[in-house]
Amino acid sequence: MPETLSPSAQRFQETLRARGFANQVEELPATTRTSAEAAQAIGCQVAQIAKSVVFRGKQSQKPILVIASGANRVNEKKMAEFVAEPIEKPDADYVRQRTGFVIGGVAPVGHAEPLDIYIDEDLLRFERIWAAAGTPHAIFGLTPDELVRMTGGHVVSVK
């Protein structure tokens, strides 16, 4: 592990500290862009990966972040009901502009603008989960309770 973090991972680490969380960001040599890659790099179950999936409201163009268990596929119709409008997956430029992070590195907090956040209830069954920390190589460990507290997200069934 490098002694210093990349700029995006360092910015996220500082965001955690500023919010009162002691979680430690790690950068790994292997990519953690997908849930399977992250689980393999960390040595945990795919279901313990808190993957960030960004959607956009079709009418409002508002960004929506779903933090789902790596084992689950997000049911877009169900999510559209939660946000009261149809949703779609945006392109990489939209994700970076609205979150401040690249796809594969979208962290749960520290976004470029406020996002509506939804958390997969299946993540709550684990003692420890792992989430992206600003780059496709950066991760951090946390508890499901910490995830809910740091994001203020709505816990829902996303599948």
Write out pLDDT tens, residues 17-67: 999 999 999 999 888 888 998 999 999 999 999 999 999 999 999 999 999
Query: Which pLDDT belongs to residue 34?
Result: 87
Q: 63, 88 in Cβ contact below 8 A?
A: no
Is residue 27 classed as helix, strand or coil in its secondary structure? strand
Beta strands 138-142 and 129-132 are antiparallel
Question: From CA 99, how far away is CA 9, in angstroms rounded?
Answer: 14
**Span 93-125, pLDDT tens digits:** 999 999 999 999 999 999 999 999 999 999 999
For the chain, the structural domain boundaries read 7-156
CATH homologous superfamily of 7-156: YbaK/aminoacyl-tRNA synthetase-associated domain (3.90.960.10)
Query: Which pLDDT belongs to residue 1?
Result: 43
- Judged on CB neighbours under 10 Å (0-12, 13-18, 19+), 144 is buried
Query: Which pLDDT belongs to residue 29?
Result: 87
